[in-house]
Amino acid sequence: MGRRLVAQATARNADARPRPGACRRAPWLARPVQPAAGNRLDRPLVRRLAPGQGAAGTYARSDRRIHERPLMSHSCRFCSSPLQTVVADLGATPWSNSFLEPTEEAIAREKAFPLKVMVCSECLLVQTTETVPADEIFNADYHYLSSFSTSWLEHSRRYAEKMTERFGLDGASRVVEVASNDGYLLQYFAAKQIPVLGIEPAANAAKIAEDRNVPTHIAFFGRDTANELVGRGIRADLTAANNVLAHVPDIADFVSGFAILLKADGVATFEFPHLLRLIEGIQFDTIYHEHYSYLSLVAVERIFAACGLKVFDVEELPTHGGSLRVYAQPLTGTRAATEGLAKIRADEAKAQLTDMATYVAFGDRIAAVCEGFRAFLRNAKNEGKRVAAYGAAAKGNTFLNVCGVTAADIAFIVDRNDLKQGKLSPGSHIPIYEPARLEAAKPDFVVILPWNLTDEIVNAHAYIRNWGGRFVVAIPEVRVI
């Protein structure tokens, strides 16, 4: 078993004074409110804010108490500029991975937090306005494990092959992954006898990685963790940060850590859902409390430059509805900028991601998606059809809560992750079972909540067609497969 390097993961002071070039931390934390319960399909989906409470197109859930703040009181978590433009106001929802025990007591204790996203007109960072402390989400009870997706494992294997070949990695190199989860990625480098180290704040995921002989440092990543590792003689030829950049409240402290940890000729790669695809595909379900930021290349380049890194290459990926893989190096690095970088810059300019009007129009498109799905559920109920769902994913929980769906509308959810089985989905309180439940219950429709895995799920469970079952994808519009 790899040697465990244990570091205590501590929450940072939310009111700390910013260092030069560092992220200006929001000086407030989310205040919990109680979510409403019951079937919400017959209630209004959204309510318009009163004049002066937000830009045209903003909205909020009508059936939950929402903690409102004057818009001008919000400051950008990177540059401290006042936030004035609302991208999406999804009301108050529980944390997307806070699954419940099926008891009245657990339901009564459930808390919901405001879920509003705004864009900074100065640095163009799209971000949540409320900050839930990261150590309350990424802890020993964190339920997301990367290895439950076979397609994600294959993606990770290909990444290891490509990086090893492109950068000439061998037994004298070191690969460090930040937010290494259960060792899903580093196991492929370790199999090549390349030294690896994972950095992961969730102790349960880290233990699984250790059991796979992936040494794991239990900590949140930033300047302090990077300096600690460098002090131990650990520096990286390659760092990987897959689907974590959006998950950090102090994005400048996080990115600065890579500039510290990398060797002079080292490379850092970051994968994250592309804001451009989120807007084009109305992927509002990827908005949840764990995602503090929603990233465009134009914003990332500005942040990286202020934190000691420069981007030299970008690839487009199909993962998560359309992602970017950004390659960065220290400011002193000599790798030349590629055509891939120029292409994404041009794509974002064409989509007008620097124009605030692009973001203001997004809210009305969300409402249309939700109304379409609610109409589908009403029609299914009127026809006596039974509806289930596949995948208790975080994006699915956002989607169900914003659409006002409960167990009265979707009978159950199935999921391969046994940590979720036997529990209730947050907010919507739909029971979660193992996938075998589909065969036993034979629902007429199965809604695929992690729509980015549609092909994988349809191929694995094509047997539902034996009883006339059909799969349904709801974003960007209802589609019966």
Strands, DSSP E only, in 187-261? Answer: 196-199, 216-218, 236-242
Mean pLDDT, the chain, integer: 85
Residues 303 and 436 in one domain: no
User: Nearest CA to 450 among 475, 479, 477?
Assistant: 475
Residues 168 and 280 in one domain: yes
Residues 188 and 246 in one domain: yes
CA gap 41, 214 in Å, rounded = 46
| Over residues 153-177, mean pLDDT | 97
Residue in the structure block whose two tokens are 């490509």: 162
Question: What are the C-alpha distances in Å from 142 to residues 32, 112, 448?
Answer: 19, 17, 22
Sequential DSSP letters for 225-245:
HHHHHHHTT--EEEEEEES-G
Residues 281 and 415 in one domain: no
Instruction: Using pLDDT thresholds of 50, 70 and 90, give the confidence band for residue 18.
Output: very low
Residues 295 and 441 in one domain: no
Start-to-end Cα distance in the chain: 45
Instruction: Using pLDDT thresholds of 50, 70 and 90, give the confidence band for residue 135.
Output: low
Q: Which residue has the higher pLDDT, 176 or 43?
A: 176
Q: Which residue has the higher pLDDT, 367 or 14?
A: 367
DSSP state of 2: P
Q: By percentage, how much of the chain surpasses pLDDT 70?
A: 81
Residues 320 and 395 in one domain: no
Report the CATH number that the domain containing residue 452 is assigned in CATH: 3.40.50.720
Q: Domain end: 333, 353, 371, which one?
A: 333
CA gap 100, 152 in Å, rounded = 26
Segments forming the whole domain that contains residue 453: 363-480
pTM here is 0.80
| Torsion of the alpha carbons at 349, 355, 359 and 362, rounded to the nearest 10 | -70
pLDDT digits 0-9 by tens, 273-318: 999 999 999 999 999 888 999 999 999 999 999 999 999 999 999 9
Residue 237 falls inside a structural domain: yes
pLDDT at 5 over 80: no
User: Nearest CA to 196 among 173, 219, 218, 179?
Assistant: 173
Residue 245 falls inside a structural domain: yes
Amino acid at 47: R
Residue 221 falls inside a structural domain: yes
Report the CATH number that the domain containing residue 198 is assigned in CATH: 3.40.50.150
Residue 229 falls inside a structural domain: yes
Q: Domain end: 333, 352, 379, which one?
A: 333
Residues 322 and 374 in one domain: no
Residues facing residue 242 across a β-bridge: 271
pLDDT at 164: 99
| Over residues 400-404, mean pLDDT | 97
* Of the candidate ranges 123-127, 148-152, 289-293, the one whose mean pLDDT is the lowest: 148-152
DSSP state of 468: T
Residue 158 falls inside a structural domain: yes
**Number of domains making up the chain:** 2
- For residue 168, what are its two tokens? 């000439």
Burial class of residue 108 in the structure, from the number of CB atoms within 10 Å of its CB (0-12 exposed, 13-18 middle, 19+ buried):
exposed
Residues 296 and 438 in one domain: no
Residues 388 and 317 in one domain: no
pLDDT digits 0-9 by tens, 166-188: 999 999 999 999 999 999 999 99
Residues 166 and 286 in one domain: yes
Contacts by residues 354-361 (CB-CB < 8 Å, ≥ 24 positions apart): 354/124, 354/298, 356/85, 356/119, 356/121, 358/279, 359/85, 359/86, 359/87, 359/119, 359/126, 359/279, 360/55, 360/56, 360/57, 360/58, 360/85, 360/86, 360/87, 361/57
Residues 261 and 397 in one domain: no
pLDDT digits 0-9 by tens, 352-400: 999 999 999 998 899 999 999 999 999 999 999 999 999 999 999 999 9
Residue 127 falls inside a structural domain: no
Residues 210 and 295 in one domain: yes
User: Which spans in 20-149 are helix H?
Assistant: 104-109, 134-137
Helices 223-231 & 251-261 angle (0-180, nearest 10): 20
Residue 459 falls inside a structural domain: yes
- For residue 5, what are its two tokens? 């390097």
- For residue 60, what are its two tokens? 């909020």
Residue 52 falls inside a structural domain: no
Q: Which residue has the higher pLDDT, 168 or 131?
A: 168
Buried b (16+ CB within 10 A) or exposed e, 139-163: eeebbbbbbbbeebbebbeebbeeb
